[in-house]
Structure 1
């Protein structure tokens, strides 16, 4: 049907591209590629293709490839912290189970996204120039420290809380890497994550 020449039909506006949407799409595409090919095994053009944008589009939001990877790490740290917090709140405050659940969320993240997990702790060069990443890493540790503080009924800043939280984090961090690297297979029996985490939490916090 033709339109009235004196009142032409206005062109249909294209949907606006929101900055945050494109950034999130690119980060999601790179996350998938990191899991498949590793942080060094993909091209920015391939990530753009997966996100459905031109090969030049990523550079409107990221300076270079390294900045894209930092964006992936930053987003992953947010998700890890949220998962750890959810684990803690799923159990009574101050309980050993709440502490163990923080660790369980950590291990589960490593199992689900081993490529991104390795990237988070392998992308250390330049972190001193990335205070946002440093702050997010400290926030993740803060979830552990808070669960420990509630268990010990001490302030989170207490030196003993910080010491025990660090030891617990070290145990869980090591177990996570051993798990995704399959090195735990050297054990003579299968190690159940929850049993392991409860045993470590009990050893560090029970009767304190």
Structure 2
């Protein structure tokens, strides 16, 4: 089935429709195009038509895969949360479970993600409208938080649903989340000294999980 793929002609420079669809996974390519546009223009400034153009399809093609603009943004956020989870989960692998270094490494992955893709990071944590209709976003957020919870539980030799474990994990998340936003907003320079991410994260890890 064709998704109205467009191509630039080699002779006249015009855009002409292809008769066959050779574009691969258009849904994934549209998500990638919107992700790039969100980084450049923000979640309120991107155009679905521009995303379609970048993906090489007609402006109507995205609506064969997404209900509307909001659904596209939710899918971009969901894909980003999957990547954030993978980065957080992998970051602690070189260190013993529950160690200060493992917890700091998880935080470093979080901060690095925010710095590398500040527009998408803001989208993920600013996209509140419609979340009641997208429980998968809440589930993905819980999964990211679960990475922190698992290490705190190991550190404290307690079950993951222990109230103290959840409280300590939330405190750690809050420190790292706040630092990430301060960093991408360039507000961390206001403290009058250069903040080294790893030194900061290790200090937080040791202070919160002092045992």
- Assess same fold via TM > 0.5: yes
Structure 2: 5+ residue runs without aligned partners?
Answer: 1-18
**What is the deviation of 1:154?**
1.3
**What is the deviation of 1:94?**
2.0
Which residue of structure 1 aligns with residue 204 of structure 2?
200
Q: Distance in 1 between matches of 2:92 and 2:151?
A: 7
Aligned CA RMSD, in angstroms, stands at 1.3
Q: Higher Cα Rg: structure 1 or 2? A: 1
Structure 1: 5+ residue runs without aligned partners?
Answer: 1-12
Which residue of structure 1 aligns with residue 109 of structure 2?
105
Q: Distance in 2 between matches of 1:15 and 1:29?
A: 18
**What is the deviation of 1:15?**
5.8
On the 8 A contact 1:149/1:161 being kept in 2, the answer is: yes
Q: Distance in 2 between matches of 1:52 and 1:133?
A: 28
Pairing 1:170–2:185 present: no
Runs of 4+ in structure 1 over 2 Å off: 13-18
Which residue of structure 2 aligns with residue 37 of structure 1?
41
Q: In the TM superposition, what are the counterparts of 1:148-163 in structure 2 within 5 Å?
A: 148-163=152-167
- Pick one of 70, 79, 91 that aligns with 1:66: 70
Map Cα deviations across residues 121-147 of structure 1 (whole Å, 9 max, x no partner): 110112122110110011111111011
**What is the deviation of 1:17?**
5.1
Q: Distance in 1 between matches of 2:98 and 2:66?
A: 42
**What is the deviation of 1:103?**
0.5
On the 8 A contact 1:34/1:42 being kept in 2, the answer is: yes
- Pick one of 184, 189, 192 that aligns with 1:188: 192
Q: Distance in 2 between matches of 1:68 and 1:15?
A: 21
Pairing 1:129–2:124 present: no
Q: Distance in 1 between matches of 2:161 and 2:208?
A: 18
TM-score, with length taken from structure 2: 0.88
Q: Distance in 2 between matches of 1:197 and 1:153?
A: 22
Map Cα deviations across residues 9-52 of structure 1 (whole Å, 9 max, x no partner): xxxx956555xx11110000000000011111121000000011
TM-score, with length taken from structure 1: 0.90
Deviates more, 1:86-95 or 1:63-72: 86-95
Q: Distance in 1 between matches of 2:50 and 2:20?
A: 25
How many residues align? The count is 193
Q: Distance in 1 between matches of 2:36 and 2:186?
A: 21
